[in-house]
Structure 1
Amino acid sequence: MSPTRFASEHRWLYIGAIVLLVALVVVGIIRYEKVRTNNKATEKAEQLADAAEAAGYPRPDVGTIKRTLGDDGGQVCEKPGSSLKSALWKMNISNGATGPGMRPVIGDTETIRAEAKILEIYCPDKLDEIEDKIADLKTENTVRR
């Protein structure tokens, strides 16, 4: 049996091996990207948890931070200086009541800096969008740690 005849009779074997090799390369690349993204998300979540702990708060769960913010900051980094985000952010610094009982309060300095810390870690290029809004707020050390 000549080598060319053997190759032509088993062409499907060569094609199958090539297809399998290409499929394994594609799966490997996809898995590598996922692991790299996952490692980046874990690293940033650890950094944020360390920052919260350094500010005097209990250490938050790194897994929860990772799932919520991912590796890019999620919703926090999406147009942080927009009017809607600013309004929602200021509403969350109220007295906790709803409806007519809701009143603005003097927020805790460290608590208000928390979002800035998230922006600093996850999307530092957008930190400038909110720094001036933070500077305009009246804050005090109102939370006991």
Structure 2
Amino acid sequence: MTTTAPSEPTTFHDPHKHRRITYIIVAAVAVVLVILGLAMYNRAERNQAAEDKADQLIALFQAQDLPVPDRDQIIRVFGDDGGAMCDDPGNALKKAVRDGLGSNGAAGPGQRPVFIAQRTIEGEKLALSVYCPDQLPAFQTYVNGLDLSDVVKG
């Protein structure tokens, strides 16, 4: 009978250690992304100009007998510069969203165009006139191509 000398101990990689390192790296990347997101987040400013423009928009909505959103909500969404609404309101994506709102809500072959409520467009035109009047002519050109109707009653 022959005996063999004990061999060198085999070193195995600890899978738990590799997972731990992976978790630490993923957590660090997530923390960096959250910090970058918070630093880059552009929140609508609440200042006197934002409050004045919100009051002006509310007055215009009331004069046209349109439903008036909450004043604080208007200030949060539009701020003092109109927010996303004034960032090229005539671009293709925004047109596609508006056109999609002018459908029956079905998907696929059941989707059909419907008349867009005149009041909806009037509300958007009023908001544009307050926050970014320079964008109003381009929006009006877009609206001229729509089939509008008085389908919504206040």
| TM-score of the pair, normalised by structure 2 | 0.64
Partner in structure 1 of residue 68 of structure 2: 59
| 1:34-53 aligned within 5 A | 38-53=47-62
- Distance of aligned partners of 1:58 and 1:84 in 2 relative to their CA distance in 1, 3 Å threshold: closer
- Distance in 2 (alpha carbons) for counterparts of 1:99 and 1:72: 37
Match of 1:84 among 87, 93, 108: 93
| 1:117 counterpart = 2:126 | yes
Question: Quick check: 2:66–2:123 contact (8 Å CA) kept in 1?
Answer: no
5+ residue gaps, structure 2, are: 1-44
Instruction: Tell me whether 68-77 or 54-63 shows the greater mean CA deviation.
Output: 54-63
The residue matched to 2:123 in structure 1 has which SS? Answer: helix
Instruction: Note the 1:1-145 alignment, pairs <5 A.
Output: 38-145=47-154
Higher relative helix content: 1
CA contact (8 A) 2:62 2:68 kept: yes
2: CA distance, partners of 1:139 / 1:81: 18
After TM superposition, where is structure 1 displaced by more than 6 Å over at least 4 residues in a row? none
**C-alpha distance in 2, partners of 1:76/1:110?**
17
Counterpart contact for 1:49–1:62, Cα < 8 Å:
yes
Following TM superposition, by how much is the alpha carbon of 1:85 offset from its aligned partner in structure 2, in angstroms?
1.2
**Aligned residues, how many?**
110
- Secondary structure in 2 matching 1:118: helix
CA apart distance, 1:37: 6.3
| 1-structure distance, mates of 2:54, 2:132 | 13
| Structure having the higher Rg | 2
User: What are the Cα deviations for residues 42-90 of structure 1, in whole angstroms up to 9, with x where unaligned?
Assistant: 1111111222222223322110000011001111000111111111111
Q: Do the aligned partners of residues 81 and 143 (structure 1) sit closer, same or farther apart at CA in structure 2, a change above 3 Å counting?
A: same
Contact 1:93 1:104 in 2 (8 A): yes
Give per-residue Cα distances to partners, 1:84-139, cap 9 Å, x unaligned. Answer: 11111111222233454332211111211221211111011111111111011111
Inter-partner Cα distance in structure 1 for 2:100 and 2:126: 19
Task: Give the aligned CA root-mean-square deviation in angstroms.
Answer: 1.9
**Structure 1 vs Structure 2: percent identity of aligned residues?**
40
